[in-house]
């Protein structure tokens, strides 16, 4: 049985841990609000922009389809894996790495490279896979321009034929307690799916100055916005996952501390009882002698 000093040491250690986890939870809760607002505002814009471009590309002359929408024989695939630079966020990072490994198996017949955004993804793949680029520093000053630059590099590689498909893997923010690992195709951009059984509604767009010039400007912007949305989704998910993980850690520490306090009180009472018995026994022995 552990002595009383050891039990007091454990109680003190758990109390210190609780202070840390409680503070981390409060920090993540404060950051979550700002990150949640950012993704909630960007998501409708990104989705609507993608929808317009898909519809316009689907109705365009096949010979005039943007190079970013042209499908070709798949030989090389690039995955953009978005994690965080820090841990202590439950299964937030490991779920992305797990999905990445699943995609490696599905695309085993192709040459696969990874562009990592976040140190956790980089550490997970750098020893076993070819890393196209590590962009973990993007979180130091996260903004559209920083994400746009790394997306531009991936787009140039696709345009030059270095990659035939580009995907992004990230945690999609649902709410503070729920994040959904998502794999989205970035390049080539997807065309709008047409269901032959459903009545078709023709979408009429007026292009000014012309269709080609507008698509040349909108398509790159849409691709960059899609990747930026994935990064913002991941940031909001990270804070939600860390807040939840630290909340559970604090609760577990409190439960363990309560159990140790009860154990300590019982052990102390037992020690006091033994001391009293020894004193009484000694007194009786002296009386009899």
- Say how many domains are in the chain: 1
Please state, in angstroms and rounded to a whole number, the distance separating the CA atoms of residues 48 and 54.
Answer: 10
Helix (H, G, I), strand (E, B) or coil at 107: coil
Terminal-to-terminal C-alpha distance of the chain: 35
Please give the average per-residue pLDDT across 67-78, as a whole number. 86
Please give the average per-residue pLDDT across 167-173, as a whole number. 93
- Give backbone dihedrals phi and psi of 164, rounded to 5 degrees, phi first: -105, -20
Q: Is the omega angle on the peptide bond into residue 208 within 30 degrees of 0, that is, cis?
A: no
Please state, in angstroms and rounded to a whole number, the distance separating the CA atoms of residues 275 and 117.
Answer: 63
Please state, in angstroms and rounded to a whole number, the distance separating the CA atoms of residues 178 and 43.
Answer: 17
Helix boundaries (H) for the chain: 4-58, 92-106, 119-125, 144-159, 211-288
15-28 burial: b if 16+ Cβ within 10 Å, else e:
eebbeebbebbeeb
Residue 104 included in any domain? yes
Residue 14 has pLDDT above 80, yes or no: yes
Residue 94 included in any domain? yes
pLDDT (tens digit, 9 = 90+) per residue, 26-42? 998 888 888 988 888 88
128-149 burial: b if 16+ Cβ within 10 Å, else e:
ebebbbbbbebbeeeeeebbbe
pLDDT (tens digit, 9 = 90+) per residue, 182-208? 999 998 887 655 455 554 445 566 667
Residue 13 included in any domain? no
Tokens 């995955």 correspond to what residue?
A: 79
Residue 289 included in any domain? no
Give the model's pLDDT for residue 97: 92
Give the model's pLDDT for residue 8: 87
Contact between residue 154 and residue 234 where contact means Cβ atoms under 8 Å apart: no
Residue 63 included in any domain? yes
pLDDT (tens digit, 9 = 90+) per residue, 100-149? 999 999 998 999 999 999 999 999 898 888 888 898 888 888 889 989 99
CATH, residue 83: 3.40.1380.10
Instruction: Please give the residue range of the domain that contains residue 136.
Output: 21-194+202-245
Does the pTM exceed 0.85?
no
Residue 89 included in any domain? yes
pLDDT (tens digit, 9 = 90+) per residue, 213-224? 777 778 888 899
pLDDT (tens digit, 9 = 90+) per residue, 227-281? 999 999 999 999 999 999 999 999 999 999 998 888 888 888 887 888 888 787 7
pLDDT category at 76 given cuts 50, 70, 90 is very high
Residue 38 included in any domain? yes
212-243 burial: b if 16+ Cβ within 10 Å, else e:
eeebeebbbebbbbbbbbbbbbbbbbbbbbbb
Residue 255 included in any domain? no
């Amino acid at each position: 049985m552990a002595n009383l000093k050891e039990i007091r040491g454990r109680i003190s250690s758990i109390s210190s841990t609780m202070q840390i986890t409680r503070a981390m939870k409060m920090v993540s809760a404060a950051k979550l609000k700002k990150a949640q607002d950012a993704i909630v505002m960007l998501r409708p814009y990104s989705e609507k922009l993608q929808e317009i471009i898909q519809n316009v590309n689907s109705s365009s002359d096949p010979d005039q389809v943007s190079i970013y929408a042209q499908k070709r024989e798949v030989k090389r695939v690039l995955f953009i894996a978005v994690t965080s630079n820090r841990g202590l966020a439950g299964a937030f990072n490991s779920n992305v790495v797990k999905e990445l490994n699943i995609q490696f198996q599905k695309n085993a017949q192709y040459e696969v490279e990874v562009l990592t955004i976040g140190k956790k993804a980089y550490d997970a793949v750098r020893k076993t896979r070819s890393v196209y680029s590590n962009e973990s520093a993007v979180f130091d000053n996260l903004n559209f321009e920083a994400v746009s630059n790394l997306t531009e590099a991936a787009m140039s590689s696709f345009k030059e034929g270095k990659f035939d498909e580009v995907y992004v893997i990230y945690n999609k923010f649902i709410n503070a307690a729920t994040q959904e690992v998502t794999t989205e195709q970035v390049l080539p951009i997807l065309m709008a799916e047409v269901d032959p059984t459903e009545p078709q509604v023709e979408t009429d767009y007026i292009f000014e100055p012309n269709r080609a010039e507008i698509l040349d400007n909108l398509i790159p912007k849409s691709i960059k916005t899609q990747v930026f949305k994935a990064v913002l989704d991941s940031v909001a998910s990270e804070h939600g996952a860390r807040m939840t993980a630290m909340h559970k850690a604090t609760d577990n520490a409190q439960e363990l501390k309560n159990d140790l306090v009860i154990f300590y009180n019982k052990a102390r009472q037992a020690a006091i009882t033994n001391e009293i018995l020894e004193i009484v026994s000694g007194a009786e022995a002296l009386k009899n002698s």
